[in-house]
Structure 1
Amino acid sequence: MAKDKKKKIQRPKALPPKGFRDYFGAEVDERNAMLAQISEVYHRYGFDPLESSAVETVEALGKFLPDVDRPNEGVFAWQDEDESWMALRYDLTAPLARVYAQNRNDLPSPYRRYAMGPVWRNEKAGPGRYRQFYQCDADTVGTASMAADAEVCAMLSDTLEAVGIPRGDYIVRVNNRKVLNGVMEVAGLAGDENEAARGIVLRAIDKLDRLGVEGVRALLGAGRKDASGDFTEGAGLDDAATDVVMGFMDAKRDTAGETCARLRELVGESAIGLAGVDELEQIGELLSAQGYGPDRIDIDPSIVRGLGYYTGPVYEAELTFEILDDKGRKRQFGSVAGGGRYDDLVKRFTGQEVPATGVSIGVDRLLAALREKGRMETKAKGPVVVTVMDRDRMGDYQAMVSELRDAGVRAEVYLGNPKNFGNQLKYADKRESPVAVIEGGDEKEKGVVQIKDLALGARLASEIETSEEWKAQPAQKEIARGDLVAEVKAMIARAEG
């Protein structure tokens, strides 16, 4: 009988799921630093922090995502043991509606909160398009005043400048869904029977920057086939109705007053459309009174936002500076934030209308923009590494790092095999350490330590094998053991200066 072949072990592939990625030290540090800057602005405006669960019931989240053709309509959902459906949050706004409805008797009204954290969308993954990403939101719940919308736009403008996007490199564009609803009435798309078509129109307009005028016209009509051959069903509008919608997208004029006048012409006698124009005028007047001109915040009818829960003003922050794409072509960076008014979202829970408005910043997009502008701190900020020359004296080395840490210096002892000193230096180089510390037996007897500036760490780590060679390098300095903290801090300060 043939011997059974030993079954080959099937090991899992060490890869993240499609559409997901890992973030390492510097990236996480950059994000945290930027979130601290954003939260400082939000806090200054009077908003309080809120952390809510990453998981909500599907019922609580609602179905508002534009990618309705994706599994579970764009969310990551599963059925719990009691057969209820739960999902990862797809944004930070839908959970806020649930939180407010649940705690409305205990919260101030209006309630002003900000939130930061990851969200998940079951979207088609692609280059630079991930299914998990960070958002940073601020919302006001409980007021219908257009002052709340104007304030959110002003705060968004201030936030972009606070993190390093100068005036002139961004524009916050403002529109109103009510105006678009009025235009749809004129185009014959009013009524529940046209709800699906209206959704297609919203998604089509929201893709203007990516698809261009002809691509949007195709989606408003019979549909569009992309370069891969995939066909997207259109809204089925005739040419006359398509012209009305396209006219809305082309209504931008030289001044806000002229733009609003053109929008009044487009909405005709539509009551909801005229109400939307009135709200845009109010927002413009409030922003002007605070000193926010069209160079920072402007009325633009081409902005609609893709999510289905917006009911009034909508806004989007676009970065206007040019970058080079993968093919070396110039293009504008594009949108990094958006939001709007959603007066019906809390009503789903309470049965009573609770007006609300807010904005969401795409953290990863904004970080990428700051890198493009060279505004991120790129200097190495690794820990000081205390090398180990005698493993029996680990207590001495731990005492050194304790002194450095107590003084606010990031520091660690090398915890690998200390036998090969060159490996310790290679480790320090990989950690992007600013300074390495050495104390052998001779140094211990003399009451001194050696400290080394690692600006040339990569070259040194590849060439040095012994502690004697290390000591011979010109950047090395012998100091009294009692001066360790002061000398290390001074060396770090020189490197950062």
Structure 2
Amino acid sequence: EALEAAGLLADDFQIRINDRNVLSGLLETIGLVGDEHSDKRLGALRAMDKLERLGEAGVRALLGPGRKDMSGDFAEGANLSDRDIDRVMAFMAATAPTNAETCARLANVIGGTAAGAKGVETLAEIASQLKKLGVGDSRAKVDLSVIRGLEYYTGPVFEAELVREIKEDGRPVRFGSIASGGRYDGLVERFKGVEVPAVGVSVGVSRLLAILEVLERGGSRGEGPVVVLALESDQMADYQLMAAELRGAGVRAEVYVGGSGMKAQMKYADKRAAPLVVIVGGDERARGEVTIKDMRLGAELAKKIEDNVEWREGQKAQASVPRHKLVEEVKRTLARG
């Protein structure tokens, strides 16, 4: 419901569900229970969590001795035996077309362990409750490749993944998980000494916004911050001071960070939907002034410019004022709308 309220459609994404008790049942069958196996156990879980990104061969390598990543660095593996690696891969391949089938397969594979039986029962109950809410197997799927590498999870774990194919500049773009979480009954107790059952989920806001923008469902960008251009690298402290003065007066403001020229900085400000930019170069500094350019008015005037005279008229979109009047003039210009 939250993702749909944000702008996604029901068929844009799928909720993928697993349970750490199911994983505990698997770990028991391959002998990775107990504190003495904690490092190897965590390594195996992290390897399994990378199936979607690395594929079967990559996960097999991480379950075994390890592999080199794209940078050339070697990632140490969990060092499982070939027999146990085969068991893990067979477990991950047990996902069936329907949730009922997947739970039935799991019961046959790990139902003989207490943890495995509990996990299968939980998954079956979740699937049943979701179906009663009108959320079928195509929208919420029991998927054994969902691991969630953090060891504090104690029960159901889940991820929301974009399933709609998205293309940008004619090429497919893969966004992956846009939300994830699970149950962690022991986490609060670690810090507070009180047993508190808990479930949490986090949403990848930046990733979600990028998806909505590509799908053209983001609506208006809204107004961004005032951008102070950084035209002279040795004056950065003064630029930061201007931004701080504006923020202190309740105006959102930031300083351009980088070594680009004015044209690139103006493009950045436009991309940030900045209503105004503050310009202080050598000339302004010599006069003790700042130039404030109204990006909104400038854009409107630019649409109407047909000759050089009108271009000069367009300079009305910017004005220079004494440095000490920066905040006053910015607030006045913003209020003008």
- Under a length normalisation based on structure 1, what TM-score does the superposition of the two structures give? 0.47
Q: Residue 198 of structure 1: CA displacement?
A: 0.8
One-letter amino acid matched to 1:267: I
1:380, 1:434 within 8 Å by CA — same for their partners in 2? no
2:25, 2:115 within 8 Å by CA — same for their partners in 1? yes
- SS of 1:259's equivalent in the other structure is helix
Q: Distance in 1 between matches of 2:208 and 2:8?
A: 9
**Which structure 1 residue ranges, 4+ long, deviate > 6 Å from structure 2?**
412-417, 457-462, 467-470
Q: Is 1:333 paired with 2:175? A: yes
Q: Residue 380 of structure 1: CA displacement?
A: 7.2
| 2:157 counterpart (282, 302, 314) | 314
- Count of aligned pairs: 262
Deviations 1:54-79 (A, max 9, x none): xxxxxxxxxxxxxxxxxxxxxxxxxx
Q: Is 1:432 paired with 2:275? A: no
Q: How does 1:5-404 map to 2 (within 5 A)?
A: 158-324=1-167, 329-378=171-220
Q: Residue 233 of structure 1: CA displacement?
A: 0.8
| 2:311 counterpart (445, 464, 488) | 464
1:321, 1:333 within 8 Å by CA — same for their partners in 2? no
- SS of 1:303's equivalent in the other structure is coil
Q: Residue 426 of structure 1: CA displacement?
A: 9.4
Q: Percent identity?
A: 48
Q: How does 1:405-420 map to 2 (within 5 A)?
A: none
Q: Distance in 1 between matches of 2:154 and 2:178?
A: 21
1:380, 1:432 within 8 Å by CA — same for their partners in 2? no
Q: Residue 469 of structure 1: CA displacement?
A: 11
One-letter amino acid matched to 2:19: N
Q: Residue 229 of structure 1: CA displacement?
A: 2.1
Segments of structure 2 that go 5 or more residues without pairing to the other structure are 226-274, 281-290, 318-335
2:298, 2:314 within 8 Å by CA — same for their partners in 1? no
Q: Distance in 1 between matches of 2:20 and 2:278?
A: 60
- SS of 1:432's equivalent in the other structure is helix
1:231–1:354 CA distance, 2 compared to 1 (3 A): same
1:232–1:292 CA distance, 2 compared to 1 (3 A): same
1:180, 1:248 within 8 Å by CA — same for their partners in 2? no
Q: Which has the higher helix share?
A: 2
1:341–1:462 CA distance, 2 compared to 1 (3 A): farther
Segments of structure 1 that go 5 or more residues without pairing to the other structure are 1-157, 384-411, 418-424, 436-452, 471-488, 493-497
Q: Distance in 1 between matches of 2:224 and 2:297?
A: 5
Q: Residue 287 of structure 1: CA displacement?
A: 1.2
1:413–1:235 CA distance, 2 compared to 1 (3 A): closer
One-letter amino acid matched to 2:312: E
Q: Residue 463 of structure 1: CA displacement?
A: 4.8
Deviations 1:259-286 (A, max 9, x none): 0011112214110111011111111111
1:381, 1:433 within 8 Å by CA — same for their partners in 2? no
- SS of 2:164's equivalent in the other structure is strand
Deviations 1:348-401 (A, max 9, x none): 134443211121101111111111211123577589xxxxxxxxxxxxxxxxxx
1:468–1:251 CA distance, 2 compared to 1 (3 A): closer
One-letter amino acid matched to 1:369: I
One-letter amino acid matched to 2:179: A
Q: Residue 226 of structure 1: CA displacement?
A: 2.0
- SS of 1:224's equivalent in the other structure is strand
Q: CA RMSD in A?
A: 3.5
One-letter amino acid matched to 1:349: F
Q: Residue 295 of structure 1: CA displacement?
A: 2.8
Deviations 1:175-223 (A, max 9, x none): 0011011001111211211110111111111111211110000000111
Deviations 1:146-181 (A, max 9, x none): xxxxxxxxxxxx111111111111001110011011
1:216–1:462 CA distance, 2 compared to 1 (3 A): farther
Deviations 1:305-326 (A, max 9, x none): 1222101100000011223589
Q: Distance in 2 between matches of 1:292 and 1:461?
A: 62
